Chain A
Amino acid sequence: MAQGRVKALFDTGFEEGPAPAAVHFENVGVRYGMGPEVLRDLTFSIEPNSFQFLTGPSGAGKTTLLRLILLSVKPTRGLISLFGEDVSRISKDELTDLRRRMGVVFQDFRLLDHLTTYENVALPLRVQGKEETSYRNEVVELLRWVGLGDRMHMLPPVLSGGEKQRAAIARALIVRPDLLLADEPTGNVDPSLARRLLRLFIELNRLGTSVVIATHDFSLMDQLSVRRLVLGDGRLHIDE
């Protein structure tokens, strides 16, 4: 049922979407130092309200591609535009504005160990200068939804891998981003929680967020019939 809902939204989104693509790559290539290109000739778009998996074998460059979208790695060639803006010419303030439209779940979670789970999840709102009273309920509600209601005042070092992952996902979702990038978001959770988290991503997508989930978990991908971006040998193949 969830698949159908996502598919329906996916289809109608394309028909109604005058908005620019959330992400557009045109012949993008990346190399580290003087080494060979790890990614080459990447040309694809991530449309608004779309849902896709990014897959490929380990070391294929999934994380690098996500970092290109996050603008933490600069392409050595090609053109990248985010939400219709050519990122090669944006200022630092514009970069910040773009990042505020994105939520990211890192493979290694990247929670701040000196902040509680609650503070980690509330971090994107705090850096935007919002008052705690304005987001407190929302953060607590989300933490309860991901099963961390009784862990909200604990520091990340005492959380399990799965709990850290859920906290990282909650942090990415709290701002209801226009684009969600998740790197192996279900890698440390059991299958039932993985399904629950996937439902959360689908719900977010239903509310208008474009979702990119990087994974090599075929059982997860098989639960949804959505577009797959497949990386291999540094090139991208798209399974519609």
Chain B
Amino acid sequence: MKQPRSTQPAKPEEGQRPLPASLRRNAPLVPVDSAGGQALAAVIAILTFLAALCAGGAELVATSSSQWRSDIAREVTIQVRPNAQRAIEADVDRAVALARQMPGVEQAQPFSKTESERLLEPWLGTGLDFNDLPVPRLIVIKLKEGARPDFTPLRQALKEQVPGASLDDHALWVSRLSTMANTIIGVGTVLVILVLVAAGLAVTFATRGAMAGNREVVDVLHFVGANDDFIAKEFQRRFFALGLRGAAVGAGVALVLTTIVGFVTSSWRASPAGDQIEALFGSFSISWRGYFLVLLIALAVAVITGIVSRLTVRRFLNENG
């Protein structure tokens, strides 16, 4: 009796029954999908979530600070202080004229007396007679996109022609803002690195536990001719799968949370609190770079899980003969 076998390419033999399709199960040789494995996947998910939040937060600050710095760097202010011996309107006009002569200046807009006084209302209240107060006048200068002019000639000209006028290019403020933003980004980066290290340590302990728990499996694999590298690869494959699953869950939750927070803050945008949050963090939605960063972290966690487990297995096997 000869029967064709559709499940395998080998030539049919006399009297052989068809092979069951379930032979191709290709089950993993090291069973790490135990309760301990699930716990490790949960730990990795939590750590990835935290790392993703840190990275997303740092990216948010980086993007916002870049916008702040760009906006502030494009704006320069001239302050003309009142002087009883001088006509302030003429001084303001003179300062505006000097500013407009400077290359790279897009716009020089003086604040009128009324506008200047209105700036003080939040602190001094309304209904005051500002005629008795020496309220300085401001001129806001907008620079052209990408222009980085040297303000020394303008400063010199103002000093000579408009005594009492001072020019503020916000360099100090930009410097402080940069320092603050860079500190936040640095702290975020350090936190991401710490979380990745913690993930590596968790994988080390879990791998050693899995090795101890699967001692008999490892012995059998050795006896049937598996070398250390084969066993290490098997563990790596299993832990990489676990790490990828945990990291995907953690990163997914972080992205969903960011999207929800972005949606909620956008609905607050009209309120004062929403304005403050938006002023600080921008629109509270991470850019494509942020999404890429979170996915990169998830992949890094999975790769670290695989590599660390492999190294740990090799070390464990070397230590234990």
- Smallest CB separation, A75 vs chain B (Å): 14
- Smallest CB separation, B227 vs chain A (Å): 4
What's the Cα separation between A116 and B28 when bound, in Å? 11
Q: How many residues on the A side are at the interface (Cβ–Cβ under 8 A)?
A: 32
What's the Cα separation between A149 and B16 when bound, in Å? 11
Question: What are the interface flags for A120-158 relative to B under an 8 Å C-beta threshold, 1 for contact and 0 otherwise?
Answer: 000110111100110011001100000001001100000
Establish whether residues B23 and A112, one from each chain, have CB atoms under 8 Å apart when the complex forms: no
Could you say which of B9, B16, B22, B217 contacts A153, with CB atoms under 8 Å apart? B22
Q: Which of B24, B31, B225 counts the most chain A CB atoms within 10 A?
A: B225
- Smallest CB separation, B172 vs chain A (Å): 65
Could you say which of B8, B23, B27, B230 contacts A127, with CB atoms under 8 Å apart? B230
Residues of B within 8 A of A136 (CB): 8, 10, 19, 23
Question: What are the interface flags for B7-36 relative to A under an 8 Å C-beta threshold, 1 for contact and 0 otherwise?
Answer: 011100100110110111111110100000
How many A-B pairs fall under 8 Å by CB?
78
What's the Cα separation between A119 and B10 when bound, in Å? 18
Establish whether residues B8 and A72, one from each chain, have CB atoms under 8 Å apart when the complex forms: no
Whether a CB of chain A sits under 8 angstroms from the CB of B160 is no
By beta carbon, the residue of chain B nearest A140 is: B19
A114 and B19 in contact, given A70-B223, A96-B226 (Cβ under 8 angstroms): no
Establish whether residues B224 and A114, one from each chain, have CB atoms under 8 Å apart when the complex forms: no
Residues of B within 8 A of A152 (CB): 20, 23
Whether a CB of chain A sits under 8 angstroms from the CB of B216 is yes
A110 and B23 in contact, given A92-B228, A127-B225, A133-B8 (Cβ under 8 angstroms): no
Establish whether residues A115 and B29, one from each chain, have CB atoms under 8 Å apart when the complex forms: yes
Residues of A within 8 A of B24 (CB): 132
Interface on chain B toward A: helix, strand, loop, or mixed SS?
Answer: loop
Residues of A within 8 A of B8 (CB): 133, 136-137
Establish whether residues A153 and B20, one from each chain, have CB atoms under 8 Å apart when the complex forms: yes
Whether a CB of chain A sits under 8 angstroms from the CB of B219 is yes
What's the Cα separation between A96 and B227 when bound, in Å? 6
By beta carbon, the residue of chain B nearest A132 is: B24
Establish whether residues A110 and B10, one from each chain, have CB atoms under 8 Å apart when the complex forms: no
Residues of B within 8 A of A70 (CB): 223
By beta carbon, the residue of chain A nearest B22 is: A153
Whether a CB of chain B sits under 8 angstroms from the CB of A222 is no
22 A-B interface contacts by CB (under 8 A): A72-B219, A72-B222, A96-B225, A96-B226, A100-B225, A110-B223, A112-B217, A116-B25, A116-B27, A119-B27, A123-B220, A124-B225, A126-B29, A127-B221, A132-B23, A132-B24, A136-B23, A140-B16, A140-B19, A152-B23, A153-B23, A175-B225
Closest 8 CB pairs of A and B: A100-B225, A127-B226, A96-B227, A124-B224, A114-B31, A153-B22, A137-B10, A110-B220
Extra contacts besides A110-B220, A112-B217, A127-B221 (9): CB < 8 Å? A100-B225, A112-B220, A116-B23, A119-B27, A124-B224, A129-B230, A136-B8, A140-B16, A141-B16
Q: What is the interface of chain A, defined by CB distance below 8 A to chain B? A: 70, 72, 92-93, 96, 99-100, 104, 110, 112, 114-116, 118-119, 123-124, 126-129, 132-133, 136-137, 140-141, 149, 152-153, 171, 175
